[in-house]
Amino acid sequence: MTIKFGTDGWRGRIGDDYTFENVRRCAQGFATFLQQNGRAAQGIIIGHDKRFQAEYFAQAAAEVIAANGIHVWLTDGPTPTPAISYAVVDKQAGGAVNITASHNPFWDCGFKVRDPQGGAIAPADLKKIEGQIPESTAVSRLKFDDAVSDGRITLFDAGLAYEAQLHRLVDVEPIKRAGFNVAYDAMWGNGAGWLPRLLLPGQTQINEIHNERNPIYPYMTRPEPIPPNVDHGLAFARDILADVTVINDGDADRVGFGDENANFMDQLRVYGLMGYYFLEVRGERGPIVKTISTTKMLNKLAKLYGVPVHETGVGFKYIAPKMMEVDAMIGGEESGGYAFRGHVPERDGILAGLFFLDMMVRTGKKPSELLDTLFGLVGPHYYDRIDSTFAAERRSEILARVDTARPATIGGLKVTDIVTIDGHQFIMEDGGWLLVRFSGTEPVLRVYCETTHQDRVPDILQDGLRLAGLKS
């Protein structure tokens, strides 16, 4: 089969297309790419999440890359994606392989690759890696135990250097003393244990839920920190009267939050708050990088504080290179992934959680009060998204319909412009937008909107489905 890398590497259904054979093929392609680009001598990092057989898929990748004469540092257990990315910088490695499907359903696994800065690899280089993926007969391989015993594979704890980096970026002592009652939902993933590790002992309490390994992800359709997957964790937060809820996805590179009333705070509002935190609370300045699917509140904040905004396509394969190009203060996307200057150009859901708690400490405000403060600066904004599956044979038809659509109004609001950086974004008279685009990781059409009119959100989304021919 032909393997294609999407928004963030290759993902497939375990036992169907995601097999040990195909993982080894991907590893061979990446090894060849590293050799051709002069990075093989630096070695690479390999890590994994808590999905079914993930540690064995990671070993399979390590066997192949080591057989190509490239030293492998293999994590000694499930490790947050940002810790794997930071290990690249710490070890001065040539890149990384991460065996994870992040927020996908339990039946999927994935093969992510990272560059020497620990960030997503640019689209042009992803194409080069794809082009180097051979048939299975051309894959080199060592026995795992032999490669470990002769030093070609080194097992290590990537969490140690990562923890030290987090302490450099955030002074956790005020958070420890704050006396917060924090609910933490690990979504059965790699973030489990990290907030207690960083914030205990102290007056602040960390109450974890879904912190064991369970690859079928009970109480949620997938380990993605958005409703309805967060509902069980938020109910727990409500029961314990939590001051705030922090929610990481399966590999801990994304984050979601619940306020002091256990109400979910959507990702666009959180990104707006992150912008406010850095610009106002910390007093920092620098470019903001955001995907086309992310909030216009950042554009308004940027104008208020005199900083530039750069918009990209969806995915960190676009965000990471742009962040490095412009030395961005912050970069992020609608999925709840945020990256920060002075760190790796990679989503870090654990660090974002610490920054949010630090914002509460520095301002003395509850999450809902912080949101009120943000709205006082830029006005209220309302967001929602619909994910719609479709028959594969309809993809071309849907694309053609959206490409030729020229609606005068959407949700009763006049359309003023169309942007095609990634998908089709229809700009509306209030500065809001409707975005229709295909997912880069699964056969789903995503319809997103943001508007200043709360009552228009359902109509805007339904108009988006009609544009695509998925609703009459």
Q: 429 pLDDT band (50/70/90 cuts)?
A: very high
Neighbours of 15 (CB within 10 A): 11
pLDDT value of residue 367: 98
CA 221 to chain centre: 17
Q: What is the mean pLDDT of residues 143-164?
A: 98
Show the domains of the chain with their CATH numbers: 10-160 (3.40.120.10), 163-263 (3.40.120.10), 267-349+360-378 (3.40.120.10), 382-467 (3.30.310.50)
Q: What is the mean pLDDT of residues 175-195?
A: 98
How far is residue 407's CA from residue 421's CA, in Å, rounded to a whole number?
19
Q: What is the mean pLDDT of residues 109-121?
A: 94
Average pLDDT score over the chain? 96
Q: 122 pLDDT band (50/70/90 cuts)?
A: confident
Q: 7 pLDDT band (50/70/90 cuts)?
A: low
pLDDT value of residue 12: 94
Q: What is the mean pLDDT of residues 339-362?
A: 97
Q: 182 pLDDT band (50/70/90 cuts)?
A: very high
The model's pLDDT over 34-56, given as tens digits with 9 standing for 90+, comes to: 999 999 999 999 999 999 999 99
Closest CA to 3 of 110, 106, 138, 105: 110
Q: Global pTM?
A: 0.95
Closest CA to 313 of 327, 298, 299, 334: 334
The model's pLDDT over 219-276, given as tens digits with 9 standing for 90+, comes to: 999 999 999 999 999 999 999 999 999 999 999 999 999 999 999 999 999 999 999 9
Q: 73 pLDDT band (50/70/90 cuts)?
A: very high
Three-point CA angle 194, 198, 200, nearest 5° = 105
pLDDT value of residue 193: 98
The model's pLDDT over 280-335, given as tens digits with 9 standing for 90+, comes to: 999 999 999 999 999 999 999 999 999 999 999 988 889 998 999 999 999 999 98
Task: List 330's β-bridge partners, or say none.
Answer: 288, 340
pLDDT value of residue 439: 86
Q: 450 pLDDT band (50/70/90 cuts)?
A: very high
Q: What is the mean pLDDT of residues 177-195?
A: 98
- Residue 436, pLDDT > 90, answer yes
Alpha helices by DSSP H, listed for 280-413, are 297-305, 316-326, 349-363, 367-378, 395-404
Secondary structure in 3-state letters for the chain: CCCCCECCEEEEEECCCECHHHHHHHHHHHHHHHHHCCCHHHCEEEEECCCCCHHHHHHHHHHHHHHCCCCEEEECCCCCHHHHHHHHHHHCCCCEEEECCCCCCCCEEEEEEECCCCCECCHHHHHHHHHHCCCHHHCCCCCHHHHHHCCCEEEECCHHHHHHHHHHHCCCHHHHHCCCEEEEECCCCCCCCHHHHHHCCCCCEEEEECCCCCCCCCCCCCCCCCCCCCHHHHHHHHHCCCCEEEEECCCCCCEEEECCCCCEECHHHHHHHHHHHHHHHCCCCCCEEEECCCCCHHHHHHHHHCCCEEEECCCHHHHHHHHHHHCCCEEEECCCEEEECCCCCCCCHHHHHHHHHHHHHHHCCCHHHHHHHHHHHHCCCEEEEEEEECCHHHHHHHHHHHHHCCCCEECCEEEEEEECCCCEEEEECCCCEEEEEECCCCCEEEEEEEECCHHHHHHHHHHHHHHCCCCC
Closest CA to 45 of 29, 53, 34: 34
How far is residue 135's CA from residue 131's CA, in Å, rounded to a whole number?
11
How far is residue 320's CA from residue 306's CA, in Å, rounded to a whole number?
22
pLDDT > 70 in the chain, percent? 99
Q: 392 pLDDT band (50/70/90 cuts)?
A: confident
pLDDT > 90 in the chain, percent? 93
Closest CA to 281 of 222, 211, 329: 329
